[in-house]
Structure 1
């Protein structure tokens, strides 16, 4: 009986800590995502001998609906990616063809960048598909941050084997993320910079994704504009609407 009395508080503390970690991740996710968002983003792929720029527009609603339209360069203009719940589609105007992407493609490079297909359309949910644990504290750009370990739930179809996320304690901005594969090998590191107020909320406006094993290579994502919480009908996120957006 004595052991039971001692174990119950420990179990309770662990449950509370896990819930706190999840609530921190949820706040950070909701801050960057909003109930809806519409953004224009510049993407720069930087390589040792060349660089390339793209401009995209994104529409997102909750965790289950998203559309990404490539506007520049001209040769890629009109390519569209659509997420509807757990399904991801790609419209290729040059082929006049809609392709459904299998889950195995979520870990692959998005349009030759260092971001994955999953990073852009957010097929997985950092809130619902992972278990969260606070493992420490750190300081990034003079901001006190939680260090949170995120492990995929057994039933979740997840690209990554583990994430280590640093979230600002005051503004709930994700400032640093390390992405590991199933064997615990570091694959990518993302750092966030240039916090600015956009549409009434403070968010990082420049994200840099750096692969661990490719020297002098990275992809930079810069938010040019973003609008939050503007109504978007569910009917906007359809394969037919993809074709209209891509014209």
Structure 2
């Protein structure tokens, strides 16, 4: 009886004083801020070739997002806009804007290993999932929570399950596994090269690696981030998306 009591007491003492959902929210808020404006390189790596895009993004919470491709010349001016649950794409060569249906959120974003949902974030990793702790680990010397995320039944979610590895000290998302509805591993994301940028500590090198495609990955490299600079709501409009270039 005493042994059982000690075991239960030990388990209780080991429980974190923060919920899994709160950990995910803090990591999400840390990377996003109230607003953010970023400049980054997106490098797509394939067995026989590589290509790079330079991209600028504007985000306000989880409600608004704008993504503009600056180079190469072939894709220059292509833009994406998120407003609430709506996602739009502007293609200058066609001079038309296209509303992306939910079915397209699982598709590759601009030929990379990220999906449209990964970049534009139509779904919310805080509100659209049920979160639970599943263990602890260490990544590059940082103690991390391991958190499983299962989509809520009513949520329109791309993934069947996510497993996040979040640093306990600075709430940095350092590793993520993406599973389909059958819990088969599809992608793995690694985040590293942690730097102070825009007044906060963030990973500046993020790679997405597909599970079934050897020698293939996509890398995001942040070169500049500005946090919490006000962006007027009028910026996140179809009219503004067409004028960005």
Could you state the TM-score of these two structures normalised by the residue count of structure 2? 0.93
Any stretches of 5+ residues in structure 1 without a counterpart?
1-12
Cα 1:93/1:18, change in 2 over 3 Å: farther
1:17/1:134 contact within 8 Å kept: no
Residue in structure 1 matched with residue 219 of structure 2 by the alignment: 220
Could you state the TM-score of these two structures normalised by the residue count of structure 1? 0.92
Alignment partner of 2:43: what SS? Answer: strand
Instruction: Show the 5 A alignment for 1:112-151.
Output: 112-151=111-150
Any stretches of 5+ residues in structure 2 without a counterpart?
1-11
**1:19 Cα deviation (Å)?**
6.8
Residue in structure 1 matched with residue 242 of structure 2 by the alignment: 243
Aligned-residue RMSD, C-alpha: 1.3
Paired residue total? 232
Residue in structure 2 matched with residue 230 of structure 1 by the alignment: 229
Residue in structure 1 matched with residue 83 of structure 2 by the alignment: 84
Supply the distance in 1 between the matched residues of 2:234 and 2:154 (Cα, whole angstroms): 29
1:37/1:228 contact within 8 Å kept: yes
- Runs of 4+ with deviation above 6 angstroms: 16-19
Supply the distance in 1 between the matched residues of 2:39 and 2:198 (Cα, whole angstroms): 13
Residue in structure 1 matched with residue 200 of structure 2 by the alignment: 201
Alignment partner of 2:108: what SS? Answer: coil
**CA-to-partner distance for each residue in 1:73-111, whole Å, 9 max, x for gaps?**
011000000000000000000000000000010010000
Supply the distance in 2 between the matched residues of 1:97 and 1:103 (Cα, whole angstroms): 19
Supply the distance in 1 between the matched residues of 2:195 and 2:214 (Cα, whole angstroms): 29
Residue in structure 2 matched with residue 73 of structure 1 by the alignment: 72
Instruction: Show the 5 A alignment for 1:88-99.
Output: 88-99=87-98
**1:219 Cα deviation (Å)?**
0.4
Alignment partner of 2:74: what SS? Answer: helix
